[in-house]
Copies of this chain bind each other. A is one copy, B any other.
Amino acid sequence: MLAAELPTGLARELTNAVGGAHVLTDPEITAGFATDWTGRFRGHSPAVVRPGTTAQVAAVVSACARAGVAVVPQGGNTGLVGGGVPLRGEVVLSLVRLQDLGAVDVAAAQVTAGAGVTLARLQAHVAPHALAFGVDLAPRDSCTVGGMIATNAGGMHVVRYGTTRAQLMGIEAVLGDGRVVSHLGGLVKDNTGYDLAGLLTGSEGTLGVVTAARLRLVPLPRERATAAFGFERWTDAVDAVAVLRARVPGLEAVEVMVRAGVELVAGHHGWLPPPALLAPVSLLVDAIGEEDPLQELARAAGELTLVAEPAVATTPDQRQRLWAIREGHAEAINQLGAPLKLDVSVPAAAIAAFVAALPGLLPAGARLDLFGHLGDGNLHVNLTGIEGSPEPIEAAVLSAVVGAGGSISAEHGIGTAKAPYLHLCRTPAEIATFRAIKAALDPVGIMNPNAVLPPP
């Protein structure tokens, strides 16, 4: 439903639910909640509602369901596919006040966290117990537990611990009809009904809104070693991933960059990258372990086809300098203009051919920046300098991904940006099944109506 202004009854109900101070309607304030990080997706909202408890979230969703007013849940607003902004005048349901963070259960290696807790705060909370959360992302100071669950966030450490879904031991959520489901006991074996936690993970707020989660934790690494390897060709880099997986038991991250991107980031900050990162293709690799993970990396290096001396970080400062180049990509690219961001995964055997075919799909004048998590076959394709509509290019690249047996959304989600392309990856029967599930959990159809499912 489009809503330039809230119905009076609903405005009163929202104020009753969360208090007037937490219903923001000043357009200058709501504008910040209505534009995404890339600047590509801009909307507007009659109200940003900021509940402080799960019960308040339920009251807000119930009131909106009764009024038939659509709701867009929002966490740290770090999404890249327009899935967390009110594109058609929806109410924004901001979860950032759900800041509860339970005592760490050290024996079970678990913790319960509210949806609004940032990744950085979660990590700082569990680190004194020699534990860590198994998912790590560059926007760790802003992205929230709820947003990471809604998008089944991936990031750097999937090669070791899996995606966010694999970290969930239980969930609390408000479904589209205002019903609260909560199962936060954290039992490792618990076959009592359907897997609501897994179903809500990656559903992008279209079925309901996650308010808290019971999270599995992993041992905080005592030692971490970092190395950068430079390659002449993509096939050499892809082969290197297989060698690293086989030879480095402590493998934690395998990131890929190309020379043009490294030069862009380095130039932006005035840094001088090591020769390995100035190779045509480079990998940035982390390994952890009790013993000496650097030794593991050094042994594996002997089996790789390199074009430059590996760069090795032996101090936290050196490590930070290598990682800053990798993590600086998104921001440096954004300085070139709002990019068309495609987040895809491709089977290992098809990656080199896919990358080789990419430039042929682009119009003259377009700039291609490519980086990502090669350990998972996950590439971030960033396109800038496109004149006119980006849609033909987007369609061409995503068709090439599907032709290579890949996924049009590896970790960013479908959002609104990829919804028109969902049919490339999922059959009509699957999409019809998604719609049936959506209708079951969000019967009025108010939850994040622009995301995941294309208009029928």
Asked if A189 contacts B345 (CB within 8 A), the reply is yes
- When each residue 403-429 of chain A gets 1 if its CB lies under 8 Å from chain B and 0 otherwise, what string results? 001111111111000100010011101
Given contacts A433-B175, A434-B194, contact A376 B189 (CB under 8 A): yes
Secondary structure of the A contact surface, majority rule: loop
User: Which residues does chain B contribute within 8 Å of A440, judged by CB atoms?
Assistant: 436-437, 439-440
What's the Cα separation between A193 and B206 when bound, in Å?
A: 10
Given contacts A107-B348, A440-B437, A441-B433, contact A194 B203 (CB under 8 A): yes
Which of A10-18, A26-34, A158-166, A279-287 forms contacts with chain B? Answer: A158-166
User: Which residues does chain B contribute within 8 Å of A308, judged by CB atoms?
Assistant: none
Q: Which chain A residues numbered 177 to 199 have a C-beta less than 8 Å away from chain B?
A: 179-183, 185-196, 198-199
Any chain B CB within 8 A of the CB of A143?
Answer: no
Taken together, the copies of this chain in the complex come to: 2
CB of A187 to closest CB in B, whole Å: 5
User: Which residues does chain B contribute within 8 Å of A429, judged by CB atoms?
Assistant: 179-181
Contact pick for A193, options B175, B186, B431, CB 8 Å: B431
Any chain B CB within 8 A of the CB of A347?
Answer: yes
Any chain B CB within 8 A of the CB of A366?
Answer: no
Any chain B CB within 8 A of the CB of A108?
Answer: yes
| CB nearest neighbor in B for A406 | B187
What's the Cα separation between A148 and B249 when bound, in Å?
A: 29
Contact pick for A377, options B187, B191, B249, CB 8 Å: B187
| CB nearest neighbor in B for A349 | B107
Any chain B CB within 8 A of the CB of A151?
Answer: yes
Listed by A's residue number, 13 A-B pairs whose Cβ atoms lie within 8 Å are A151-B191, A152-B191, A154-B189, A162-B166, A166-B166, A180-B429, A187-B377, A188-B378, A192-B422, A194-B203, A194-B207, A198-B199, A437-B440
Asked if A413 contacts B191 (CB within 8 A), the reply is yes
Asked if B412 contacts A191 (CB within 8 A), the reply is yes
User: Which residues does chain B contribute within 8 Å of A430, judged by CB atoms?
Assistant: 181-183, 193, 196
Asked if B189 contacts A378 (CB within 8 A), the reply is yes
What's the Cα separation between A452 and B192 when bound, in Å?
A: 8
Asked if A158 contacts B434 (CB within 8 A), the reply is no
Given contacts A198-B165, A198-B198, contact A192 B347 (CB under 8 A): no
What's the Cα separation between A374 and B320 when bound, in Å?
A: 41
What's the Cα separation between A194 and B452 when bound, in Å?
A: 9
What's the Cα separation between A118 and B3 when bound, in Å?
A: 56
What's the Cα separation between A436 and B198 when bound, in Å?
A: 16
Any chain B CB within 8 A of the CB of A242?
Answer: yes
Any chain B CB within 8 A of the CB of A432?
Answer: yes
Any chain B CB within 8 A of the CB of A202?
Answer: yes
User: Which residues does chain B contribute within 8 Å of A199, judged by CB atoms?
Assistant: 194-195, 198-199, 437
Asked if A376 contacts B188 (CB within 8 A), the reply is yes
What's the Cα separation between A191 and B192 when bound, in Å?
A: 26
Asked if A195 contacts B189 (CB within 8 A), the reply is no
| CB nearest neighbor in B for A164 | B191
What's the Cα separation between A408 and B452 when bound, in Å?
A: 35
Given contacts A187-B377, A189-B163, A376-B188, contact A436 B426 (CB under 8 A): no
Asked if B422 contacts A193 (CB within 8 A), the reply is yes
User: Which residues does chain B contribute within 8 Å of A158, judged by CB atoms?
Assistant: 188-189
Asked if B194 contacts A377 (CB within 8 A), the reply is no
User: Which residues does chain B contribute within 8 Å of A203, judged by CB atoms?
Assistant: 194
CB of A212 to closest CB in B, whole Å: 15
Any chain B CB within 8 A of the CB of A384?
Answer: no
Any chain B CB within 8 A of the CB of A201?
Answer: yes
